[in-house]
Structure 1
Amino acid sequence: MADTKRQSMAGKVATPKVGPTKEVIDGDSSLYKAVGARIKITCAPHNNVLEGTLFTTCNVTNAIAINTAPAPPNPSAPLSSQPGDFHIIPFGHIVTFELVGPGERAPESAAGFDGALPSITKVDLEALKAREENTIREMKKKDAQKGKGVTKEAQELFDYIARTLPLRWAGTQIVVNEASLIDAPYGLNNIKSAPGKEQSEAHVRKIVERFYQLKKPAQGAPRASVATPIAPRKGG
């Protein structure tokens, strides 16, 4: 009976037109009120058609989110148990939409977000801003760890020292622990430090020396002995 009622409601729903302007997507628009319902939407520029559950409309990002995953086989299963196959559609790409079914909503709820299932909570914009700023800081930090105009071996040396000591690039110079400098071509003779920082310089020299030892192929190392096969004796 519930399915019959839903089909009856879907058959009576008009097909509103939505132009490619964000002004029509507001709290009074038909699309806003359709949150939680099943809709069919035509998208520019190729008139692609998507059908699914309207998850949200957002005037901050000027877009909607639609879940096109098929409904669970069990008609009584809640909407929240549906698998997710979400598509983000900018307002400007919406050509038309059709309400094909009321979807699942909280009992006696008004149109819009409040009655949508699963429930939609307010987006914490401050948390998103803090996350964005932290991501930008991390990206700048990683970029600062990449030398500009230096050789691949110089960058490898930098990354090797960075495992144990704090350092940074200053042009093409490597500044280690704010105490020692390594100039191109980054050999042992190119390490220097400020007066009184000899101990730090000695530590840096050991690390640099170890780096080049690891890169240099072993010379004069004893070769593994190879067994020489013995020819079988004649006559057993």
Structure 2
Amino acid sequence: VADAKDVKVDASKVNAIGKLPDIDDPRRERRFANALKHARVAADNIGENVSALAQDVFDALARTLPCRWDADVIVVMDEVKVSGPTYDAAKGCGSTPGAEERVQKVLEH
């Protein structure tokens, strides 16, 4: 290429792609807002200053039950608390019958 003297452009290939499609701004904004919402939910599911075991237990519980962090305590269904350091026992703190047993069953598997 360094010693090329004559360069010819095939005019039939110029602009062969054509005009690009218009951007659907409202759709782009909706997609962005949806992605941002999901990213915030995912970030809320990551515990701060918790062990890998605690995060693994949270992830396992969150697959089937609504969970949130309260410092280093996992709160399931706003009814049951699972505390460290072993995160293997559920303690009921609400009024729903069977909630503690349901969480304990997930912890055992």
Same fold (TM over 0.5): yes
Kindly tell me: are residues 171 and 118 of structure 1, through their superposed partners in 2, closer, same or farther at Cα, counting changes over 3 Å?
A: same
| TM-score normalised to structure 1 length | 0.38
User: What percentage of residue pairs aligned between the two structures are identical?
Assistant: 26
Residue in 2 that maps onto 1:200: 99
Q: Distance in 1 between the 2:55 and 2:42 partners?
A: 13
Per-residue deviation at 1:191?
2.0
Residue in 2 that maps onto 1:128: 28
What amino acid does structure 1 have at the position aligned with 2:99? S
Three-state SS of the structure 1 residue aligned to 2:98 is: helix
Q: Which has the higher helix share?
A: 2
Residue in 1 that maps onto 2:82: 182
Kindly tell me: are residues 120 and 201 of structure 1, through their superposed partners in 2, closer, same or farther at Cα, counting changes over 3 Å?
A: same
Q: Distance in 1 between the 2:51 and 2:68 partners?
A: 16
| TM-score normalised to structure 2 length | 0.75
Structure 1 residue 159 corresponds to structure 2 residue 59: yes
Residue in 1 that maps onto 2:5: none
Residue in 1 that maps onto 2:41: 141
What amino acid does structure 2 have at the position aligned with 1:187? D
What amino acid does structure 1 have at the position aligned with 2:92? K
Q: How many residues align?
A: 101
**Structure 1 vs Structure 2 CA RMSD:** 2.5
Q: Distance in 2 between the 1:104 and 1:200 partners?
A: 65
Per-residue deviation at 1:198?
3.5
Q: Distance in 1 between the 2:88 and 2:70 partners?
A: 17
Task: Kindly provide the CA deviation profile for residues 52-77 of structure 1, in whole angstroms up to 9, marking residues without a partner as x.
Answer: xxxxxxxxxxxxxxxxxxx8xxx86x
Q: Which has the higher strand share?
A: 1
Task: Kindly provide the CA deviation profile for residues 28-56 of structure 1, in whole angstroms up to 9, marking residues without a partner as x.
Answer: xxxxxxxxxxxxxxxxxxxxxxxxxxxxx
Q: Distance in 1 between the 2:36 and 2:77 partners?
A: 24
Q: Distance in 2 between the 1:136 and 1:152 partners?
A: 25
Per-residue deviation at 1:149?
0.8
Three-state SS of the structure 1 residue aligned to 2:75 is: strand
What amino acid does structure 1 have at the position aligned with 2:81? L
